[in-house]
Amino acid sequence: MSILVNKDTRVICQGITGSVGLFHSQKCREYAEECQPGVNVFVGGVTPGKGGTEVDGFPVFNTVEESIAATGANTSMIFVPPPFCADAIMEAADAGIELIVAITEGVPVLDMVRVERYLAGKPVRLVGPNCPGVITPGVAKIGIMPGYIHNPGTIGVISKSGTLTYEAVWQLGNVGMGQSTAIGIGGDPIIGTNFIDLLELYENDPGTEAMLVIGEIGGNAEQQAAEYIKERVTKPVAGFIAGVTAPPGKRMGHAGAIISGGSGTAAEKIAALEAAGVAVAESPADMGTAVQRAMAK
């Protein structure tokens, strides 16, 4: 079992004719073919004005609507450049896509404000933007993560970061654990899916036994997640927060990773998670063992 991505997932890539979009569509297709031989998971792409053409075996459509009609896609992976990303997300939602995974980095914050309003009340889930994507090991990956480091298993991973998530997944592998699903939610101030949304899904997923939450400085999503864990989550949860040494007022790579006005520090997030009974790894080298600790509790 898993969340968000399963054997019914059929994906189109918006921005497939760009070099990055094509490269990762190919990688995603390879991974899906390994996992589900003979099943076509990555069914095509969308680039306005290039409809009717084909790129490395992927049919290209002008609009998301057309691509759904032709392929039955229910999921979109977005690689379009930042100025057009918000519009691409809204187009996908309007066309009836159920899961949108926006990889694009550098989307203006106010664009995301408009996207959030547009998506409100629609039956669609957005992951990202500025995220590595979603992977259900052994089924499919939608995003830029290296597929082979993941193993099918029972740990649900949620993270604001990319390579730090790979690190965590690697460590889980070293202690003999795999993932039900691993999701990068992105490091921007306004994102589609947050910790709480996924904690709820993992809590209700019979295939997930425990969760690993990886956060960082900035905002208070981790504190809210801690509140939620305390009240609603019965499964073991481990965590890690990056940025204990980050100075205030400086943006640490991710647009959202900034301590402002003295709030959003790692210390307050760690304290909140620990108060909620989460096994927090002190060192980034101990994320795997923190999950073991959480499960042994």
Stretch touching other proteins by CB under 8 A, among 1-9, 43-51, 184-192, 229-237: 184-192
Closest CA to 215 of 164, 173, 180: 164
3-state SS, 255-268, equals CCCCCECCECCHHH
The helix/strand/coil state of 158 is strand
User: Taking CB under 8 A as the rule, does residue 35 contact other proteins?
Assistant: no
Amino acid making up residue 159: S
- Peptide bond connecting 129 to the previous residue in cis, omega within 30 degrees of 0: yes
**Tokens representing 248?**
């205030």
Token pair belonging to 64: 């998301």
Cβ distance to other proteins smaller for residue 68 or 89: 89
Residue among 72 and 247 whose Cβ is closer to other proteins: 247
Interaction of residue 284 with other proteins, rule CB under 8 A: yes
254 belongs to the catalytic site: yes
291 binds other proteins per the rule CB under 8 A: no
- Catalytic: which of 254, 258, 287, 294? 254
Regarding beta strands 11-14 and 54-55, do their DSSP bridges make them parallel or antiparallel, or are they unpaired?
unpaired
Question: What three-state secondary structure class fits 12?
Answer: strand
Interface map 144-183 toward other proteins (x if CB under 8 A): xxx-xx---------xxxxxxxxx--x-------------
The residue within the footprint of other proteins, chosen from 37, 38, 52, 283 (CB under 8 A), is 283
107 alpha-carbon distance from chain centroid: 16
- Residues found near other proteins in the complex (CB under 8 A): 24, 27, 82-83, 106-114, 116-117, 144-146, 148-149, 159-167, 170, 187, 189-190, 214, 216-217, 219-221, 224, 240, 242-247, 250-257, 261-262, 266, 282-285
Catalytic residues: 254
